[in-house]
Amino acid sequence: MVRLCSSSPTRASILREHGVDFIQSKVDFDEESLPYTNGAHFVYHASKGKMSSALNLYGVEEMPLLTADTVVVSEDGEILRKAGDEDEAYRILERLSGSAISIVTSLHFHSKGGIFSDLSSTGYEFSTFESSDVERYIRSGEWRGKAGACMVEGFCKKYITSFRGLESTAMGLQIERLIPWLNL
């Protein structure tokens, strides 16, 4: 049994799909206080900060702790965070349309048997998004809570022209890298 210290339904779904027993508990960490403009540095320190908060709340006596954070990084290196409203989601999706991005996820796993950290990136190239699809996606609200308003497993999937890396990394939890550590 693992304590997933994240409110992400996608991370919970990934664990379920891989047969990992878990409970889900949100931890508070102020990501906005982080000064990093590099996507990899940002997610590493965000997931590490979440782990510090989780350790303060729960320790590892009861069960192992798992934290993660994900950002989308544009071709020019800008971190595209979660959109705050529909206008911001439109602006972000305009940047993604017909471009290349990296989705960077950092995870931290802490158990009695050891500590594991992983920083992974998956790159995508997209064709140009159809405006009617963008409209439907925005109205659906599925972009809410998603880094870069991006769902590579949903809206963006039909526009992917190429990718390199693990799809699970892009979805917010590189489960293939975590599984060997779950039985320690």
Q: Are strands 79-80 and 22-24 parallel, antiparallel or unpaired?
A: unpaired
CB 20 within 8 A of CB 182: yes
Whole-prediction pTM: 0.90
Active-site option among 30, 69, 76, 118: 69
- pLDDT for 153 equals 84
Distance separating alpha carbons of residues 5 and 48, to the nearest angstrom: 12
Judge whether 69 counts as a catalytic residue: yes
| Whole-number pLDDT of residue 184 | 53
pLDDT of residue 177: 96
Q: Are residues 34 and 93 in contact, defined by beta-carbon separation less than 8 angstroms?
A: no
pLDDT the model gives residue 62: 80
The residues of the chain scoring below 50 in pLDDT are none
Over residues 17-50, the pLDDT tens digits come to 999 999 999 999 999 899 999 999 999 999 999 9
Gap between the Cα atoms of 90 and 83, Å rounded: 9
User: What H or E segment, with its residue span, contains residue 15?
Assistant: helix 9-17
pLDDT of residue 58: 93
Alpha helix segments (H runs only) across 26-178: 39-58, 86-96, 131-140, 167-171, 175-178
Backbone phi, psi, residue 154, to 5°: -130, -110
Domains, the chain, ranges and CATH?
2-181 (3.90.950.10)
pLDDT at position 1, please?
93
Would you state the pLDDT for residue 151?
Answer: 85
